[in-house]
């Protein structure tokens, strides 16, 4: 028995142009000796075909030389190569759990192989797998193999691992991400003027409509009541309505350069921490800006965080004196209730380019220390007591990382070294309860300044902001997904926001309701900016088949699960019943007799004849009707001296309202010339 096993070999290019571009490992091959050797016997499987797929994580790599069991083959245009009849009991398998780049849950089988360098390609990982998503393959897994349960979701991901999601259609740097009803919205990066939209359940990307007046800036966006408020560099607001995929222009704060924003309730607080000390607040409901008192002191690149006590904390940053970068330990607190600034206790370490995390009345700041010797890696600020304490020490954590709070764990992802500014792909987990640090699986790509968001058990990381902006690198277009907890997909109730009614239909007079051929489905637009066809039941009880005025028939939508019709939208269709139309079948009149020698011009033809007509919708319905005719003409000529013979004439029928002549029937009449009649002129006697 033979089984086809697919293998995925992901390779990366040797790229060293910028820190955020993928950096290859030093090893150029993975020889058999480095693999764990464990004999795995599949039930009833003596050999299998192994298909190897070589990719850079997104696109196939053709012409790559792959060696398996001393046989060397070259990948085709799709990056694939097939090795046939590989014995399944060779000592070259290591069984563990894996999810491939398309999100399929599998059992991983490492195979002995070598990819020879044909360009600058290098191996990143090698996988040969049995697809656990297919039920018929399950018996092939050994009974004592500890294989993970099936993924509960359709989304990309496997527990405790980073996997690659669908490739971004364009690069993103200096951007932010929000989630709304199972979709991620990535703010724009200069010079584009639209958002990228990632459908989590379908692992696919699309783009929003474009906004011609969108301002450049740091990509600060705020989600509020189904709309995204984009704060441009001068504090100008652009408003994106997710449901309608349309933009509107909000008011402007007339600031110079908004670096950071914080949100409390329905207000957006904007701070110019890099250009000036200005600050302003935007009221979402009123679409108005109000200037705040200035920040007590300006530091470049201060970090901003809002706390549940209605206060906003500005921390760290730096100033430049000549060639020296001087980090700041300062903390400034803005009370949104009293509209006043105050000084908070200073940090022990000067920091810039970090992300404060608020948890249970405390603010956690880590890494981003410009001077290594300056102070502790992790500091914890007690909001109520205005005091700092030191957290557990760990290896250095750079700046410009992405940080996410999940439960009592803080995930610190990527960033850059503070000395050489090289991007990193390390991921560090800090547990707040236990005050401990743990290394977890690193990301696939080196990233600094990436955007990260947590949704339904998974972390989604996109883009980076390190490197030449004119270089389209893989990290800028890369999506990575880390599964913290394997959860079922979330299905949202989507609401109908528009409906496309079918066009008017025209039917013959007397058409019964069951023969109207009304559409079975209509198209609706949903509040996630998608469309779908929904079945409809038409209410035809008030329809009148003989009413020739335009009639409106309404319907009831048969809503599927997870779709609602709040407004509600009522489908309708216009029906026009044509007038009762009769078709001319024939039109004849009695023969006309004329005297011998009667000229054609002297024949008195009738102006109207009796026609046989039938209902255009019911051929069994026939009747007679007088119709007007004109232009009598002989069919085969007229001979006034040809007596006793029927000479056929025909005329054009003039149609009245409700009468049609689809077959161009002519009115007909026969003209008969009488025999020649003589008069007695004289009588002469004749002798007998």
Residue 368 domain flag: no
pLDDT of residue 17: 25
Among 96, 90, 101, 95, residue whose Cα is nearest residue 48: 90
What's the sign of the alpha-carbon dihedral 297, 303, 308, 310?
A: positive
pLDDT of residue 581: 87
For the segment 6-10, the average pLDDT, to the nearest whole number, is 34
Where are any strands of DSSP class E within 259-354?
260-264, 267-271, 279-283, 288-291, 303-306, 311-315, 318-321, 324-327, 331-335, 340-344
Residue 11 shares a structural domain with residue 134: yes
pLDDT of residue 46: 47
Residue 589 domain flag: yes
pLDDT of residue 474: 53
pLDDT of residue 50: 61
The answer, yes or no, to whether residue 504 has pLDDT greater than 90, is: yes
Cα separation, 84 vs 82, in Å, equals 6
Mean pLDDT for the chain? 78
pLDDT of residue 129: 33
- 8 A C-beta contact, residue 587 and residue 610: yes
pTM for the whole structure: 0.62
pLDDT in tens, 254-280: 888 888 899 999 999 999 877 788 999
Residue 571 shares a structural domain with residue 619: no
For the segment 529-543, the average pLDDT, to the nearest whole number, is 93
Residue 42 shares a structural domain with residue 136: yes
The answer, yes or no, to whether residue 576 has pLDDT greater than 90, is: yes
Residue 651 shares a structural domain with residue 569: no
Q: What are phi and psi of 32, to 5 degrees?
A: -60, -35
For the segment 598-612, the average pLDDT, to the nearest whole number, is 93
Residue 562 shares a structural domain with residue 593: no
pLDDT of residue 514: 95
pLDDT class of 418 with cuts at 50, 70, 90 = low
Residue 171 domain flag: no
pLDDT in tens, 131-150: 333 332 222 223 333 222 22
The answer, yes or no, to whether residue 571 has pLDDT greater than 50, is: yes
pLDDT of residue 22: 29
pLDDT in tens, 58-97: 556 677 666 665 677 777 887 777 767 655 433 333 333 3
pLDDT of residue 234: 81
For the segment 100-120, the average pLDDT, to the nearest whole number, is 37
Q: How many structural domains compose the chain?
A: 3
pLDDT of residue 371: 66
The last residue of one of the domains, among 521, 549, 577, is: 577
- 8 A C-beta contact, residue 677 and residue 596: yes
Cα separation, 40 vs 489, in Å, equals 34
Kindly report the number of other CB atoms within 10 A of residue 626's CB atom: 13
Residue 15 shares a structural domain with residue 111: yes
Cα separation, 22 vs 466, in Å, equals 12
Residue 55 shares a structural domain with residue 97: yes
- 8 A C-beta contact, residue 392 and residue 440: no
The last residue of one of the domains, among 549, 577, 605, is: 577
pLDDT of residue 51: 62
Quick check: helix, strand or coil at residue 32?
helix
The last residue of one of the domains, among 89, 120, 150, is: 150
3-state SS record for 344-412: ECCCCCCECCCCCEEECCEEEEECCECCCCCCCCEEEEECCCCEEEECCCCCCCCECCEEEEECCEEEE
- 8 A C-beta contact, residue 445 and residue 20: yes
pLDDT of residue 272: 87
pLDDT of residue 34: 33
Q: Which residue has the tokens 């302003």?
A: 280
- As a dihedral over the C-alpha atoms of residue 557, residue 560, residue 561, residue 565, rounded to 10 degrees, the angle is -20
Cα separation, 649 vs 424, in Å, equals 101
Kindly report the number of other CB atoms within 10 A of residue 395's CB atom: 10
In terms of C-beta density within 10 A (0-12 exposed, 13-18 middle, 19 or more buried), how is residue 88 classed?
buried
pLDDT class of 163 with cuts at 50, 70, 90 = confident
Among 164, 167, 206, residue whose Cα is nearest residue 184: 206
More confident residue, 72 or 34: 72
Residue 615 domain flag: yes
Quick check: helix, strand or coil at residue 136?
helix
Poorest-pLDDT segment among 139-143, 241-245, 462-466: 139-143
pLDDT of residue 416: 83
| % of the chain with per-residue pLDDT over 70 | 74
What is each CA distance from 404 to 239, 277, 401, 430, in whole angstroms? 26, 28, 10, 11
pLDDT of residue 306: 95
Q: Residue 96: which domain range?
A: 2-150
pLDDT class of 613 with cuts at 50, 70, 90 = very high
Residue 539 shares a structural domain with residue 641: no
Per DSSP, 510 falls in state T
| DSSP string for residues in 49-96 | EEEEEEESSSSB-TT-EEEETTEEEE--TTSEEEEEEEETTSS-B-EE
Cα separation, 474 vs 379, in Å, equals 34
pLDDT of residue 217: 61
Residue 660 domain flag: yes
Residue 507 domain flag: yes
Cα separation, 563 vs 181, in Å, equals 13
The enclosing H or E element of 181 equals: none
Residue 8 shares a structural domain with residue 143: yes
The answer, yes or no, to whether residue 106 has pLDDT greater than 60, is: no
More confident residue, 464 or 590: 590
Tokens describing residue 225: 């009541």
Q: Which residue has the tokens 């100008």?
A: 236
pLDDT class of 506 with cuts at 50, 70, 90 = very high
Residue 127 shares a structural domain with residue 17: yes
For the segment 30-44, the average pLDDT, to the nearest whole number, is 31
Q: Helix-strand-coil percent breakdown of the chain, rounded to 5? A: 5, 45, 55
pLDDT of residue 419: 66
Cα separation, 115 vs 123, in Å, equals 7
Poorest-pLDDT segment among 10-14, 193-197, 669-673: 10-14
pLDDT of residue 374: 67
Residue 636 shares a structural domain with residue 500: no
pLDDT of residue 38: 29
Q: Which residues contact 91 (CB under 8 A, 6 or more apart)?
A: 37, 38, 39
The answer, yes or no, to whether residue 497 has pLDDT greater than 80, is: yes
Residue 567 shares a structural domain with residue 657: no
């Amino acid at each position: 028995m033979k089984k086809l096993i697919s293998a995925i070999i992901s390779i990366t290019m040797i790229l060293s142009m910028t820190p955020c571009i993928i950096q290859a490992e030093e090893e150029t091959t993975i020889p058999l000796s480095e693999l764990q050797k464990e004999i795995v016997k599949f039930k009833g499987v003596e050999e299998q075909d192994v298909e190897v797929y070589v990719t850079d994580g997104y696109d196939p790599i053709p012409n790559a030389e792959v060696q398996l069991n001393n046989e060397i083959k070259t990948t085709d245009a799709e990056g694939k190569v097939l090795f046939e009849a590989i014995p399944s009991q060779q000592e070259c398998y290591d069984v563990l759990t894996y999810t491939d780049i398309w999100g399929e849950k599998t059992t991983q089988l490492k195979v002995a192989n070598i990819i020879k360098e044909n360009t600058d390609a290098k191996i990143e990982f090698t996988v040969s797998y049995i697809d656990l998503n297919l039920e018929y393959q399950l018996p092939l897994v050994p009974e004592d193999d500890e294989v993970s349960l099936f993924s509960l979701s359709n989304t990309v991901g496997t527990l405790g691992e980073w996997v690659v999601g669908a490739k971004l259609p364009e690069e993103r740097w200096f951007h932010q991400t929000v989630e709304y009803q199972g979709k991620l919205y990535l703010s724009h990066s200069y010079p584009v003027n639209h958002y990228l939209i990632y459908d989590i359940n379908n692992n696919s990307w699309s783009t929003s409509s474009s906004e011609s007046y969108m301002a450049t800036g740091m990509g600060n966006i705020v989600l509020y009541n189904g709309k995204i408020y984009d704060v441009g560099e001068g504090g100008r607001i652009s408003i994106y309505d997710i449901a309608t995929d349309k933009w509107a222009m909000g008011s402007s704060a007339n600031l110079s350069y908004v670096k950071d924003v914080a949100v409390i309730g329905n207000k957006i607080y904007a701070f110019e921490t890099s250009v000036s000390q200005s600050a302003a607040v935007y009221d979402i409901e009123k679409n108005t800006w109000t200037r705040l008192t200035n920040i007590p002191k300006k530091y470049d690149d201060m970090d901003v965080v809002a706390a549940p006590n209605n206060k906003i904390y500005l921390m760290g940053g730096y100033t430049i004196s000549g060639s020296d970068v001087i980090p700041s330990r300062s903390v400034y607190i803005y009370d949104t209730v009293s509209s006043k600034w105050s000084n908070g206790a200073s940090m022990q370490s000067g920091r810039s380019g970090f992300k404060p995390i608020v948890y249970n009345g405390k603010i956690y700041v880590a890494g981003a220390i410009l001077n290594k010797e300056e102070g502790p890696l992790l500091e914890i600020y007690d909001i109520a007591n205005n005091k700092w304490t030191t957290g557990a020490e760990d290896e250095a954590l750079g700046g410009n990382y992405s940080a996410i709070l999940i439960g009592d764990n803080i995930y610190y992802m990527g960033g850059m070294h503070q000395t050489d500014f090289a991007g990193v792909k390390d991921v560090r987990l800090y547990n707040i309860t236990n005050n401990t640090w743990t290394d977890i699986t690193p990301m696939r790509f080196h990233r600094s300044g990436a955007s990260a968001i947590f949704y339904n058990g998974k972390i989604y990381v996109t883009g980076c902001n390190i490197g030449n902006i004119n270089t389209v690198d893989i990290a800028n277009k890369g999506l990575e997904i880390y599964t913290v907890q394997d959860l079922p997909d979330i299905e949202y109730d989507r609401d109908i926001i528009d409906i496309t009614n079918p066009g008017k239909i025209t039917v013959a007079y007397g058409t019964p309701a069951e023969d109207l051929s009304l559409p079975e489905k209509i198209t609706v637009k949903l509040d996630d900016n998608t469309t779908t066809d929904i079945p409809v039941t038409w209410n035809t009880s008030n329809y009148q088949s003989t009413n020739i005025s335009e009639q409106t028939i309404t319907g009831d939508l048969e809503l599927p699960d997870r779709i609602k019709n709040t407004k509600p939208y009522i489908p309708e269709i216009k029906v026009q019943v044509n007038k009762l139309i009769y078709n001319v079948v024939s039109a004849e009149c009695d023969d006309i007799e004329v005297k011998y020698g009667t000229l054609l011009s002297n024949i008195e033809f009738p102006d109207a004849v009796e026609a046989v007509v039938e209902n255009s919708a019911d051929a069994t319905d026939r009747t007679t009707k007088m119709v007007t005719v004109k232009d009598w003409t002989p069919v085969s000529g007229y001979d006034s001296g040809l007596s006793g013979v029927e000479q056929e004439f025909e005329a054009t029928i003039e149609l009245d309202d409700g009468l049609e002549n689809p077959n161009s029937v002519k009115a007909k009449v026969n003209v008969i010339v009488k025999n020649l009649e003589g008069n007695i002129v004289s009588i002469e006697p004749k002798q007998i």
